[in-house]
Amino acid sequence: MNWLRAISIAALALLLIPIVVLLYYGLGPFRNPAGYSVAVFRSIELSLFSSAVAVAVDILLFTPLAYYLARGKDRLAESLVDIPISVPHPIIGVALLILDSPITPSGKFLLGLHINFYNTILGLVTALVIMSAPIYVKAMQPYFESRDAAAEDFAMGLGAGRLRTLYSVVLPDSFDGLTSASLISMSRALSEFGSISIIAFYVLQYPFYGVSSASVTIFELYNGAMAGGLYAAVTASAAMILVALPIALAGHFVRRRERRT
């Protein structure tokens, strides 16, 4: 008997059983209309929108960082990137709350510029960026490291700087890597709860006025703050899995195609 295979399958089952159970009960015996109400689908819409925006920000702001870490070998910077996901996630929400609070100098400055994180789309996206960017960087860094650097060296030999080389030589040939890393970070953003439950429990802006993200809405259903209770929470969880699963699977297939090429 192949014990390594048996142990590996058992470990994989341990990871998948909770998902299968939720899908079975949420779509079957525990199915509750409150779990697929307009409020739930609006919350999923908000999660998808905010996560997509966060990923766009990840690509714009953190692709250079991933490339710098891949070529610069800055161990201190590599360690610092991991900090946001290494601390309890509500801490990030509290940090953003204090950063933009009217009782702090930074908050007075930001609010003076009409930059408000509390219960806004901006606050929600900011929290998601902070929590998803480390995942994006850690996915892009090994991709950049695995690339043959000959074309980059040639471009820099002609006088191009690192940043210009990144945008003119590396990124045009990095579609699969960017897509894979983006899908991974989007999956992470969709699953976030701790930070956004503090900084953006509700969004009080058009077109999502009064809407919570999917993770917060599921928590409210479970907690009894919304009609439906446990059964509705299980149903909403199953609906969210059906939305999030294709994104995760797409990332898997892109990574497989990337390895083959």
Q: Is residue 244 part of a domain?
A: no
Could you tell me if residue 223 is inside a domain? no
Question: Which of 211, 210, 230, 214 is CA-nearest to residue 222?
Answer: 230
Residue 226 lies in a domain: no
Contacts of 20 (CB under 8 A, 6+ apart): none
Contacts of range 248-253, beta carbons closer than 8 Å, 24 or more positions apart: 248/183, 248/187, 250/183, 251/179, 251/180, 251/183, 251/184, 251/187
How is residue 149 annotated by DSSP? -
- CA-based nearest residue to 72, from 82, 80, 64, 84: 64
Question: Which CATH number characterizes residue 106's domain?
Answer: 1.10.3720.10
For residue 155, give its domain range. Answer: 45-212
Instruction: Please check whether residue 77 lies inside any domain of the structure.
Output: yes
Between CA 139 and CA 253 the distance in angstroms is 15
Question: Distances in Å between the alpha carbon of 140 and those of 73, 136, 176, 206?
Answer: 14, 6, 10, 34
Task: Indicate whether 28 belongs to any domain.
Answer: no
Does 166 map to a domain?
yes
- Token output for 59: 């690509």
> What is the domain count for the chain?
1
Domain-embedded: residue 9: no
Q: What confidence tens digit (pLDDT) does each residue in 22-36 have? A: 999 999 999 999 999
What is the token pair recorded at 23?
A: 């899908």
Tell me the per-residue pLDDT of 75-101, one tens digit each, with 9 for 90 and over. 889 889 989 888 999 999 999 999 999
17 lies in some domain? no
Instruction: For residue 187, report the phi and psi dihedrals to the nearest 5 degrees.
Output: -60, -40
More confident residue, 26 or 252: 26
Determine which of 52-56, 131-135, 252-256 has the lowest per-residue pLDDT on average. Answer: 252-256
What is the reported pTM? 0.91
